[in-house]
Amino acid sequence: MYQHILLPTDGSEGFAAAADHAAAVAERFDATVHVLSVADTRNRFESPSSGLSSKVWDEAEHERAEDAVAAAVDALPDGVAVETHVAEGVPKTAILDAIDDLPVDLVVMGTHGRTGIDHYLIGSVAEKVVRKSPVPVMTVRLDED
């Protein structure tokens, strides 16, 4: 039923909950988990007075994305087949692109469960992926305790 599972991560605390769900599905169906992190190309600090150059931002984002992928791989059991991916762009768009480009038939992703003003201001990548994904998306509330 599920042969390729996309597991996006931004390195958030509590990610293990999403990794546990992806691993359970992968073990049940002998599926490959595609771990993806996106180096966000939107430099929110780039301006004449902000102090961060686009090069510094890009390097920091790539390092964060690579670290997030490595941590996700470490969180998965040894017997699960894993492929790793680091993409560039806007996270929601890069995740949807990965769904189209990879042979993904399920997405397992964490959500912070923000509501109210936090949800309005920060938004929800998971919500946007759920709305536009052509394949099923399992959202897992991240355990931030």
Q: What is the CATH number of the domain that holds 114?
A: 3.40.50.620
pTM of this prediction?
A: 0.88
Which residues make beta-bridge pairs with 35? 7, 84
Q: Say whether 23 sits in a helix, a strand or coil.
A: helix
Taking 80 as the threshold, does the pLDDT of residue 45 lie above it? no
- Total domains in the chain come to 1
Query: What's the mean per-residue pLDDT of the chain?
Result: 87
Chain-centroid distance of CA 132 in Å reads 15
User: Quick one: pLDDT at residue 56?
Assistant: 82
Q: Say whether 46 sits in a helix, a strand or coil.
A: coil
Of the candidates 52, 83, 84, 82, which has an alpha carbon nearest to the alpha carbon of residue 66? Answer: 84
User: Quick one: pLDDT at residue 141?
Assistant: 85
The Cα 88–Cα 12 span in angstroms is: 18
Residue 99: pLDDT band with limits 50, 70, 90: very high
The larger pLDDT score, comparing residue 15 to residue 107, is at: 107
Which residue range forms the structural domain that includes residue 66? 4-141
